[in-house]
Amino acid sequence: MKLLVGSDDGIFAPGIQTLANTLAIAGHDVTVVCPDRERSATGHGLTIHKPIRAELVDSVFDPKVRAWACSGTPSDCIKLALGALLDHSPDFVLSGINQGANLGTDVLYSGTVSAAMEGVLEGIPSLAFSLASFTYTNFEPGAQFALRLIQQLREQPLPELMLLNVNIPPVPADQMAGAIITRQGVRRYYDMFEKRIDPRGRVYYWLAGEVLEDCAPSQRTDVNASVMTDVQAIRDQCITITPLQCDLTYYSCLSKLQPWLENHLALAQPT
């Protein structure tokens, strides 16, 4: 299969190297296009006020991998690859393996997930992979799972276009409790802005804080509570697979908002 691989950790990150090399060694046609440096937590940002540069990179990946380092964001990389660098459309867009989890509401900030979502926006089934630790560095089990997953998806395609957000527990493969389908959980942070002074006496702030995992239940009434959240499942050492879409419409509230609009807001109605 033809596979496009991106990342937000940068071209030299071990996670993307492990993923791309594993896929290439298995016989897939792999192209890597990712930032030339770490671009974590950039969300779905695009570069529109300055040029985007891309250079071929040698001696970083397996010789069968064609790799580009891009000056832009993770989403820029996938957009550039699909629009300019590739001479064919890939069968899948993959992003990762990210160093650190992308669980719950992390997906709104994640450059890893956004790079994969760029593939979905172009009509290509896509997958985002993250290792749920900032210190554990064995990416091989995640890469092997990615290989098995795309092989299964080739034989049994997804029923609809979507993004599969995959998180890998930071344990050896024989300690994992299997893979399960999950729903997006709640993962919020206690934010702290540390105030500092630079050498010229100017004030700046450094964002820090702690994760408050699953700190609030879902407020949605259409959620199947029997489906475990990704945050819960990763604690149980499960590989989590969460289907995501780019449509953020709150569908279950559509019918509720019209009466609310008519009864409480004095706004002119279209004719």
The answer to whether the CB of 11 falls within 8 A of the CB of 67 is yes
Sign of CA dihedral 120, 168, 146, 129: positive
What residue type is assigned to position 180 of the chain? Answer: I
Helix or strand (DSSP H, E) at 250:
none
Cα–Cα–Cα angle for 232, 184, 159, nearest 5°?
Answer: 120
Please indicate if the annotation marks 76 as binding a ligand: no
User: Tokens for 180?
Assistant: 């399960």
The answer to whether the CB of 168 falls within 8 A of the CB of 132 is yes
Please indicate if the annotation marks 191 as binding a ligand: no
The percent helix, strand, coil of the chain (3-state, each to 5) is 30, 25, 45
Please indicate if the annotation marks 8 as binding a ligand: yes
Residue the block writes with tokens 């660098």: 85
Residue the block writes with tokens 């995501």: 244
Q: d(Cα 112, Cα 129) in Å, to the nearest integer? A: 8
Three-state DSSP state, 43: coil
Q: How far is CA 249 from CA 32, 188, 246, 254, 269, in A?
A: 32, 21, 9, 9, 21
Q: d(Cα 103, Cα 242) in Å, to the nearest integer? A: 9
Please indicate if the annotation marks 40 as binding a ligand: yes
Q: Binding site residues for a divalent metal cation, as ranges?
A: 8-9, 40, 98
Q: Residue positions in the annotated binding site?
A: 8-9, 40, 98
